[in-house]
Structure 1
Amino acid sequence: MTTLPDPGLSHVIGDRSVPLLEETVGDMLARIARTWPGQPALVVPPQNVRMDYAALDVAVDRLAAGLLQLGLVPGDRIGIWSLNRAEWVLLQFAAPRAGLVLVNINPAYRTHELEFSLRHVECKALVLPRRFKTSDYIGMLRELAPELDACAPGALHAAALPELRHVLVMGDGEPVPGAHAFDAIAACDDAGALARMREVAPTLSAHDAVNIQFTSGTTGSPKGATLTHRNIVNNGFFIGEAMNLTEQDKLCIPVPFYHCFGMVLGNLACVTHGACMVIPGEGFDTLATLQAVQDERCTGLHGVPTMFIAELEHPRFAEFDLSSLRTGIMAGSNCPIEVMKRVVDTMHLSEITITYGMTETSPASFQTTRDDPLDRRVDSVGRVHPHVEVRLIDGEGRTVPRGTTGELCTRGYSVMQGYWNEPARTAEAIDADGWMHTGDLATLDADGYCRIVGRVKDMLIRGGENIYPREVEEFLYAHPAIADVQVFGVPDAKFGEEACAWIRLVEGATVSAEEIRAYCQGRIAHFKIPRYIRFVDEFPMTVTGKVQKFLMQQAMAEEFRRDRPAG
């Protein structure tokens, strides 16, 4: 019997009326392919790829068999270092079907980070493209493994990467010495290899590790969050449920696959419901995204706020027919209220949802739904996900009252197995009772709606007053001249910290720092008004669209150092 939390405390338990899926990624795809074999599954216009679910299932079988034919065995790790391509999707489903653990490697990583990732989880194989724009992926790999050019495919023994044996290169072009052509492995029709693949499936469990994603921490080495079939299949399923996805939907996914947003909230949300994945390009391109939505009559669109802002502000925005849209997800960083309203009004996304989560929780813990009133879909991240339990705690670990700010902790099926081969760091994040401590500050209202007010590390204290940057940002977004804003703390000799705002103005707008402060006067508490205001053209960001405030803080520290009189 479940004991319900005290309604006066910030402790909620998600609905459990719909049972969890207890199946592997491979078994789930096979079930969906049997149910909707002729429905569109994958569309990638730049690669001229169109597959229905029957074809996708066959392609995944062949690739899984090809991987096993290389000599890989269940439990081996296979890395993918690439932006969004059809091959990424095939590998996302083929690796689990072969019992392999897919390792997502940020395509922005360079040699040092790549070496760390491959060595840390002991990857036996790596899949990569030749290049993307100015990134020469083969060239970077050769810097780490010059032995590649002198070995036969599958026989790599590189001093810097002692476990790596196989390199699979995507795309057309001249053969790369020492590497396999991805297409050749993906075309495997060897009866023995296919039989071996079918023998593997019954030995796999939904509780097996299936995916490793490196967290993008700002300090220390990246941590490999290890997720199971059960983690990501169920999170993708309940994401799709909240969006009301069906086999009739087509979701445009311009967010990166190497991150949970693309591969779980995008690909797995689609596949668990028989919906179609539409991939507009390798990296985010505003025009390509708008074109794909129009041409494919997409019903859903994902993006981080900066992507939606870029689409809304593009000079050709009005040329595109987006009337097929109804749903999608805006997540990945703070979702400005004003941007959300414009998305609903001008992009036809009347049922767009907001989602909150983190890599370590597969990722979603909260989500709005299409049935939530618009005001709740623009001022919160929704209510707790099914089968997820959340509480907000104070510095002493006590659950705080409703409406009080506390650190968000979550537990349930979605919490990762742990950080790969790092029990100490795992124990720092997941306590003895199974609670994942997110480091995010939040509030829960009487109806269970959650608002994220910042990070424990982002909160600044000015003269004893707590300032939550998110609150100040939301206020400033309402200024007609402000397109985007980020608020953070900088050191101050008198008050300990002061608020600093970096502001990106609407194109053609002009406004001074003094006018911004005047706008704040009498409308927010005086201690929340940014003392430092800088106008910028862009913010430092990760490739997933997350703003890197620590780099802004470093830039301000350098500015203060330059301006400080010598002596």
Structure 2
Amino acid sequence: MIEKTVGQIVRDMAHSYGDVEAYVYPEHQIRKTYREFDQETDDLAKAFIGLGIRKGEHVAIWSDNKREWLLSQYATGKMGAVLVTVNTNYQQAELTYLLEQSDATTLILGEEFKGTSYIEIINAICPELSASEKGNLQNSKLPHLKRVIVMSDNDYPGIFTWSEFAAYAEQVSDQTLEEQFASLHIDDVINIQYTSGTTGFPKGVMLTHSNIVNNAQLIGDYMKLTEKDRVCIPVPFFHCFGCVLGTLAAVTHGATMVLLEQFDPLKVLRAVQDEKCTALHGVPTMFIAELNHPEYHTFDTSSLRTGIMAGSPCPIEVMKKVIHDMGADEITICYGQTESSPVITQTRPDDAIEKRVATVGKPHPGVEVKIIDPLTGQEVASGEPGELCTRGYLIMKGYYNNDEATEAAIDQEGWLHTGDIAVMDEDGYIAITGRIKDMIIRGGENIYPREIEEFLYQHPAIQDVQVVGVPDAKYGEELMAWIILKEGSALTEEELRSYCRGKISHHKIPKYIEFTDAYPMTASGKIQKYVLRERSLEKTGMKTS
């Protein structure tokens, strides 16, 4: 295990690969070496200290993948403030909840995101802001919140501009920073990442330097990353995919980060081509959007070697296209969750192709995994489905200010219960078949949506498919498939059912089929199945209220 803080990793890379590009923003023509990156984050760490922010204080950050977000991640990693990541899609009620629940003393924010004014939202939450002295906000609902910083030099009442914030570095000596840097411990919490909150309120996952540095190191090792790699990262920083599998996995190996502020398939393809990226990250829906873009074939992706597909179950057919069409023949699949820092298992480039496309690989070194019967708690036999549990260095310190939820997630023996249904084969490879709450029970038969989705993906007209369960008076539940067709393709419900007959069991053929143009998505690119279930109830007339 690596016994280093996030900040020590940056300094190590500056020493070893000082002239290698640390990050590139193609859309802004910004390029910085590791030596420059180290200096930038030292300066910003001093600005945090100069502003009065202390080790252990909670600093919330709310924007898309701006350069200021990246620098803040590693500057706080050097001076010990805890970075609290905020979902870019949050609105007023959600932001209020997060700031209150996290006890954040500081909020760093962008001006807007996709037409939503973040400035208007924070002023609605804190009407006192406009009349406040900068850095001295008084709000009874959020008693801890004192400072708001905007990622621009536009002046807003009560809010520090980025330049005003950065200037506080001048008040802090190098020695003061070094003393604070040296005081950090690998088991200190350095990130609080909020879960999506699809059931109940979001929970703040407390992750330490040790959690995320070691996880990132192993992720990059599995990808065979070196200082010669260039990793395209279009996934959001606020999610662990962006800031651990993305930036930190690159930084731990001295690789270059090629960054996009927001996902756009055309910008991704252009960045891969122009920057000669060797790795590309994305959730399955991102890869699907890239592969199906009308201009896809005009771009050269031959520089690609690896990357990560993760965030939700990865369709086998999509994996095959990324390997064979895009040329990322060493791409890996990662599986995990925020509570496990986040990666539990990962495929290796030298795994057999069947294992690489049909499983999520084996557990990382130092990670224990067991598959249990969720009712009895007993381990199940090889090949039998059950709940995946994991234990090791990667487990979060707990949910912030939520002991009850922590105790529900981590048992007395230290096992994190993921809530995911998994099957482990005789070779130790794991396949994820869905969430326990997503399993469909039709007439006493357990049906896993993933199995049906994988089968339907093979139809030549289908671009994407999601299967959910809906109530049924006779069988308890029936299947409903939501299908996105490829551009220019046509398919009827009856044609699809005919395709299924004789190929899969009758009870696995969806009773309901709905064609759609898009799925409800989270800001991190995950499909919101619970929203699809709600829509399914409406479509089938099963919604009671």
Is the TM value for this pair above 0.5? yes
CA shift for structure 1 position 69: 0.7
Q: Give 1:107 deviation, angstroms.
A: 0.8
Q: How does 1:63-462 map to 2 (within 5 A)?
A: 63-172=44-153, 174-190=154-170, 192-280=172-260, 282-394=261-373, 395-462=375-442
For residues 26-37 of structure 1, the aligned pairs below 5 Å read: 26-37=7-18
Give the residue type in structure 2 aligned to 1:25.
V
Q: Within the alignment, does 1:546 sit opposite 2:532 as a pair?
A: no
Q: CA deviation at 1:236?
A: 0.6
For 2:37, the equivalent position in structure 1 comes to: 56
> Deviations 1:80-132 (Å, cap 9, x if unpaired)?
00110111110011112111000000010011000000110110101111123
Cα deviation, residue 46, structure 1 = 2.3
Aligned residue in 1 for 2:487: 507
Partner amino acid for 2:425? Answer: D
CA distance in 2 between partners of 1:538 and 1:445 (Å) = 34
CA distances 1:485-533 after superposition (whole Å, capped 9, x unpaired)? 0011100011110111111111111111111111111111111111111
- Structure 1: state its 5+ residue gaps: 1-19
Are the counterparts in 1 of residues 112 and 118 from structure 2 also a CA contact under 8 Å?
A: yes
CA change 1:347–1:67 in 2 (3 A) is same
Which residue does 1:38 correspond to in 2?
A: 19
Contact 1:24 1:206 in 2 (8 A): yes
How far the C-alpha of 1:454 sits from its partner, in A, is: 0.8
Secondary structure of the equivalent of 2:412?
A: coil
Paired residues of 1:66 and 1:193 also in contact (CA < 8 A): no
Q: Is the 8 A contact 2:79 2:184 kept in 1?
A: no
**Alpha-carbon distance in structure 2 between the residues aligned to 1:181 and 1:191:** 17
CA-CA distance at 1:562 after TM superposition? 8.1
Distance in 1 between residues matched to 2:272 and 2:142, nearest whole Å: 41
Is the 8 Å Cα contact of residues 44 and 85 (structure 1) preserved in structure 2? Answer: no
Shift of 1:348: 1.0
Moved more, 189-198 or 414-423: 189-198
Aligned partner letter, 1:146: P
Matched, 1:25 2:34: no
Q: Output the CA distance in 1 between the equivalents of 2:163 and 2:414.
A: 42
CA contact (8 A) 2:465 2:482 kept: yes
CA RMSD of aligned residues (A): 1.3
CA shift at 1:301, angstroms? Answer: 0.4
Tell me: higher relative CO, structure 1 or 2? Use CA pairs within 8 A at least 6 residues apart.
1
CA contact (8 A) 1:368 1:381 kept: yes
383-392 vs 509-518, greater mean Cα deviation: 509-518
Q: TM-score, normalised by structure 2?
A: 0.98
Mapped contact 1:381–1:449 kept (Cα < 8 A):
yes
Report the residue type matching 2:451 in the other structure: E
For 1:475, the aligned partner's letter is F
Residue aligned with 1:502, SS:
strand
**Partners of 2:516 and 2:491 in 1: how far apart?**
12
Q: How many residues align?
A: 543
For residues 456 and 120 of structure 2, the distance between their equivalents in structure 1, rounded to whole angstroms, comes to 45
- Following TM superposition, by how much is the alpha carbon of 1:189 offset from its aligned partner in structure 2, in angstroms? 4.4
- 8 A Cα contact 1:63 1:187, kept in partner: no
Question: What SS does structure 1 have at the residue aligned with 2:61?
Answer: strand
Name the aligned partner's letter for residue 83 of structure 2.
L
Contact 1:211–1:228, Cα closer than 8 Å, also in 2: yes
Distance across 2 between alignment mates of 1:166 and 1:217: 26
Task: Provide TM-score, normalisation by structure 1.
Answer: 0.94
Q: How far 1:161 moved relative to its partner? A: 2.0
Contact 1:253 1:279 in 2 (8 A): yes
After alignment, is 399-408 or 547-556 more displaced?
Answer: 547-556
**Cα displacement (A) at 1:48:** 2.8
List per-residue Cα deviations over 1:166-203 (Å, max 9, x = no partner): 1111024x311111122333355426343322111221
* Alignment partner, residue 483 of structure 1: 463
Residues 22 and 255, structure 2, Cα contact 8 Å, conserved in 1: yes
